[in-house]
Structure 1
Amino acid sequence: MESLSFERGEAPRSSSLPDRKVSGILNPGSSHGGEAPVIVIGAGFAGASAALTLADAGRPVLLLEAAKAPGGRARSFPDPRSGRELDWGPHLFMKANPALREFLGRIGASASLRFEPSLDLTYRLADGAARGGVRNERLSFPARGGAPASLLALLRWRGPRLAARLSIARGLRRVLKEGPPAVESPAAESKNAGETVEQMLDRLGQGASEREWFWEPFSGAVLNMPAGEGSGELLRRVMCEAFGPGLAGASLGAPAEALGPFWADRALDAIRRAGGEVKMAAPVRRIRIEGGAVRGVTLSGGESIEASVVIAAVPPPALLRLLPAEAFGGKSPWRDLGRLRSASIATAYLWLDHPCPGPAYEALVAERWEWLFRPGAGGLKAGDLRTGEKEPDAPVAFLCGGADSLASAPRSEIESAAREAAGRLLPDFGLRRVLVVRERAATWANGAGEQAHRTAAETPVDGLILAGDWTATGLPATCEGAVRSGFRAAEAAQDPKGG
């Protein structure tokens, strides 16, 4: 059995797969009568959604990305050995993600993302008393029927004991009754400001079983942080947006293809069709600021490009490197950026000795790994998810995240843990190959103590606007939060004076 692992940025590109690089700049502003463009730095969800919105509005826009391929922290890479495109970390999306779904619709990606009619999740755990040594318990809520039908679904669920299931229902009802925290200033306006997930669950009377089977899978997926550090307010907002309108909003979906072709490539194509310009492998060395206002950017090769507005859609450390010292000098909001923390996500791709049919994703119980994915199965119809076989040589994937998790361990330990988990959770399969990849800074600013330090889109520098899932969106660092920040940044760029 082969083992291989690498960090993001080390993945080789395969000559057998199409090169997805985008052509360079032609002449910024040439198609808009010489008007200086809005420059967007970073081609992740935040930057791409901002650039597309501006291009659709007829504004000259130039999108610059340091990497050779778009996607930011939601990107994929070609695996030369299998000839497949793989994600740096498989993603789940929620139906209650209005901004993300709007953006995916605008770039033509909606057909590649299918949602279950309602929340439908299979849990997998090793159990020596179970047939084959593995239990699979399915929690499936009806799309209709209201509270009575939901209660019946909980009663039919054979995961935790009945008392725990009823406690979960009471806890969720209390969360929805409390409602979401204020968006504009969550830390200042909520009576539960600064509450961690653990404190929230203590207040809701949720025991160990309730947390293990229900709250921790959702909290881990949403916040990528331990319950003792993650923001209870952020989790409460997500739960209210997902479950508040009805259980259909909490349904999950996995893309039918890797993240690059699923959304990133389509987004750049849409930007170009709308009249925007893009350049990959174009790292920005400095944002040029003179007299308290943005003048443009300087690329790492020394080329200067004038700009009317600059939208910086990059993580906090990258942003600080782009700013001249005189622009921030330890003043707010720049000094707050250093208080935002990141967390890792690790993925182990496992090639098995024969096909492993099943759902596109499963929650793992009582394991160091948190999720099992079957890449590519997200495109099957709901009725096929549990019976359809995968494509030839398609791997399964284990995923985990968080600063205190296996994702932060040495890579040799991650590989060993993947093999051990496969022996427990997939006992009928032999391992042919293991590939471990890790995104060291996968998520930002999801801690309870960090919310007051997340900054708004507008900055004290005239013409400099921030975007990113780590900004003050009122949401965790998710794709939905990133897209909302991109829309907000584009709106600010079109009306920088607020009038």
Structure 2
Amino acid sequence: MSPGATVRRVTIVGAGLAGLAAAVALRRAGVAVAIADAAAQAGGRCRSYHDPQLGLTIDNGNHLVLSGNAAVARFRAAIGATAPLAGPDHADFAFHDLAADTRWTVRINDGPMPWWVLRAGRRVPGTTARDYLPLARLLRHGEGRIGDRIPTDGPLWRRFVEPILLAALNTAPADGSARLAGAVLRETIARGGRAMRPRLATPTLDAAFVDPALRWLAANDATVATGRRLRALRVAGDRIDALDWGAGAEPLAPDEAVVLAVPAWIAAGMVPGLTVPTRHRAIVNGHFACTAPPGTPAMLGLLGGTAEWLFAFPNRLSVTVSAADALVDADRESLARRFWADICRALGTDAPMPRWQIVKEKRATFAATPEQDALRPPTATRFRNLFLAGDWTDTGLPATIEGALRSGEAAARLACGGALA
């Protein structure tokens, strides 16, 4: 709404993390909210479910956050989340090159002064302190491709920068947006290891984010209606004046706003003239019902194989492949066997493959290239009571949990005329 406008009620379409963040922020400001989602459960792409093939409750993907993610901390504090985000005490990143059978750990010191690059035992093997200087080009605000700003070869790139940026951008890093990569690095590694510690939802994403948000909202007179799909927005001049949920247009009150927190392609089909990212990248995850051998790191970067990151949970091992368009149509059992072979090489075991599950997300995130980043819309629209939320909006970050939560906060703030802190 415009500055100074009074909004008394907001309808939030979509109960992923962006929609939930908007709902929490609005209820904390005393605004009535109604939340609806077309899916059978809340959470969007960050959801958990019981998988009968594994006999376990798993997440749809291995979604990582970092200790410096401020919106994650704000959201969890607001909803009283107690399920931990688990991870190492320091920003230690373990890697294993499966082809060369070599291991190393990058150990970033806690403070902002990066003295870790001066210690051979902390930096990437085969690098010198001088090799890290070009990374400063990414820290500066700049446009274009990552490959046009820093070298994309050599041990530093292959053994650390490339796998980290691939996970953050879900796009081939050399072609990725320098603007987005710089934003990530400024908020994490540039602030030191205290902001760079990796964190995983334990035991599940639902427990760490979704369930406590739903409980908080229910306790504050805002519940989520699932299985309710918005069919259309009705436009009247410069505002949305009705919503169609499939049984005809339902008028909005003059003091009612709408936050549209749905995937980009759905929003584009509803909002006249809306420009959104048009290209997306896949993520493929493999889950295996087994216990990790003693000493297995909670997170292990893998090079030279098919899997890229291995995560050790108490009741399963999981792997993730980002920018996985080349794998997303592959046979599921074939993928499971390839992933399991990588796991066995990484952990030094020849155990038979346990119960498994492959989870494919064909349009997991927008392609984080400069061209696609430029298509991301702002939170505000040309309709004065319609606002957008989602990690595909122009948050200044790649498509991450942090970005999704920030987008929800931004939508809530604008819906209230900028009155939220």
When the two structures are superposed, what TM-score results if normalisation uses the length of structure 2? 0.89
2:228 is the alignment partner of 1:262: no
- 1:363: which partner in 2? 301
Give the drift of 1:45: 1.3
Contact 2:17 2:43 in 1 (8 A): yes
Aligned partners of 1:496 and 1:146: how far apart in 2?
36
Q: Identify if the C-alpha distance between structure 1 residues 49 and 433 changes in structure 2 by more than 3 Å, giving closer, same or farther.
A: same
* Counterpart in the other structure of 2:129: 166
Q: Do 1:346 and 1:439's aligned partners in 2 also have CA atoms closer than 8 Å?
A: yes
Question: 1:19 is matched with which residue?
Answer: none
- Quote the residue 1:151 is aligned against: 117
8 Å contact from structure 1 (residues 165, 210) kept in 2: no
Q: Does 1:321 align with 2:288?
A: no
Indicate if the aligned counterparts of 2:292 and 2:317 stay in contact, CA closer than 8 A.
no
Given that 1:45 and 1:483 are in contact with CA atoms closer than 8 Å, whether structure 2 keeps it comes out as: yes
Asked if the contact 1:79–1:86 (Cα under 8 Å) also holds between the matched residues in 2, the reply is yes
The aligned counterpart of 1:282 is 228
C-alpha deviations, 1:385-439, integer Å up to 9, x for none?
xxxxx3xxx1201100215443464545433422332343344132122210111
**Structure 1 counterpart of 2:411:** 489
Alpha-carbon distance between aligned partners in 1 of 2:203 and 2:291, rounded to the nearest angstrom = 22
Structure 1 position 472 matched with structure 2 position 388: no
Q: 1:231 to 1:490 in 2, by over 3 A?
A: same
CA contact (8 A) 1:352 1:431 kept: no
Whichever residue aligns with residue 259 of structure 1, its letter is L
Match of 1:225 in 2: 171
Q: Does 1:243 align with 2:202?
A: no
* Aligned AA (1:169): Y
1:261 Cα deviation after fit: 2.1
Distance in 2, matches of 1:408 and 1:118, equals 37
Aligned mates of 1:169, 1:496 — CA distance in 2: 41
Q: CA deviation at 1:305?
A: 6.3
SS at match of 1:321: helix
From the two aligned structures, give the one with the greater helix fraction: 1
| Structure-1 separation of matches of 2:380 and 2:156 | 41
Alpha-carbon separation, structure 1, partners of 2:35 and 2:335 = 36
1:139 to 106, 109, 118: 106
Matched to 1:112, the amino acid is P
Distance of 1:217 and 1:285 partners within structure 2: 40
Question: In structure 1, how many angstroms separate the alpha carbons of the residues matched to 2:28 and 2:291?
Answer: 48
> What amino acid is the match of 2:105?
R
Give the 3 Å change call, closer, same or farther, for CA 445–225 of structure 1 in structure 2: closer
Decide which moves more: 279-288 or 40-49: 279-288
User: Offset of 1:165 from its aligned partner?
Assistant: 4.3
User: Structure 1 residues 405, 160: CA separation in 2 closer, same or farther (over 3 Å shift)?
Assistant: farther
Return the alpha-carbon distance in structure 2 between the equivalents of residues 354 and 374 of structure 1: 6
> SS at 2:408's partner residue?
helix
Distance 1:198-1:175 versus aligned 2 partners, 3 A rule: closer
In the alignment, structure 1 residue 60 sits paired with structure 2 residue 32: yes
User: 1:137-172 deviations in whole A, cap 9, x for unaligned?
Assistant: 222223249343x1344x1048531xx243543233
Residue 209 in structure 1 maps to residue 131 in structure 2: no
**Alignment check: 8 A CA contact 1:344 1:408 kept:** no
The answer to whether the 8 A contact 1:445-1:470 is kept is no
Whole-angstrom CA distance in 1 between matches of 2:159 and 2:197: 17
Is the contact made by 2:230 and 2:246 (CA closer than 8 Å) also made in structure 1?
yes
**1:352/1:432 contact within 8 Å kept:** yes
- 1:19-418 mapped onto 2 (5 Å cutoff): 37-109=9-81, 111-126=83-98, 134-144=101-111, 146-148=113-115, 150-153=116-119, 155-157=120-122, 159-161=124-126, 164-176=127-139, 178=140, 181=141, 192-193=142-143, 195-202=144-151, 207-300=153-246, 304=250, 306=252, 308-323=256-271, 328=272, 331=273, 334=274, 336-337=275-276, 339-352=277-290, 355=293, 357-375=295-313, 390=314, 394-402=315-323, 404-407=325-328, 409-418=330-339
Letter in 2 for 1:418: F
AA partner of residue 338 (structure 2): A
Structure 2: any 5+ residue segments left out of the alignment? 1-6
Q: What residue is the counterpart of 2:385 in the other structure?
A: 463
Q: Is the 8 A contact 2:34 2:224 kept in 1?
A: yes
1:173 shift after superposition: 4.3
Does the CA contact (< 8 Å) of 1:400 and 1:407 recur in 2? no
Q: Secondary structure at the match of 1:244?
A: helix
Q: 1:300 to 1:434 in 2, by over 3 A?
A: same
For residues 145 and 290 of structure 1, do their structure 2 counterparts lie closer, same or farther at Cα, with a shift above 3 Å needed? closer
Unmatched 5+ residue regions in structure 1? 1-34, 129-133, 182-191, 376-389
**1:26 alignment partner in structure 2:** none
Report deviation, 1:463: 0.8
Q: Is the 8 A contact 2:325 2:362 kept in 1?
A: no
SS at match of 1:430: coil
Identity within the alignment, %: 28
The AA in structure 2 aligned to 1:56 is R
1:151 alignment partner AA: V
CA contact (8 A) 2:53 2:357 kept: no
Which SS does the other structure have where 2:132 is aligned?
helix
- Pairwise CA distance, 1:78: 0.7
SS of the residue 2:68 aligns to: coil
Asked if residue 433 in structure 1 is aligned to residue 355 in structure 2, the reply is yes
Q: CA deviation at 1:354?
A: 7.1
Change (3 A) 1:95 1:168: farther
Assess if the C-alpha contact under 8 Å between 2:94 and 2:105 holds in 1.
yes
Superposed CA offset, 1:325-347 (max 9, x none): xxx2xx3xx1x22x432111110
TM superposition score normalised by structure 1: 0.76
How far 1:108 sits from its partner (Å)?
2.0
| Mapped partners of 1:158, 1:468: distance in 2 | 36
Q: Secondary structure at the match of 2:173?
A: coil
Partner Cα distance (1:100, 1:263) in 2: 9
The one-letter code sitting in structure 2 at the alignment partner of 1:201 is I
Q: Cα RMSD between the aligned structures?
A: 2.6
Q: Which residue of 1 aligns with 2:345?
A: 424
The whole-number CA distance in structure 2 between the counterparts of 1:211 and 1:142 is 20
Q: Give the counterpart of 2:372 among 427, 446, 450.
A: 450
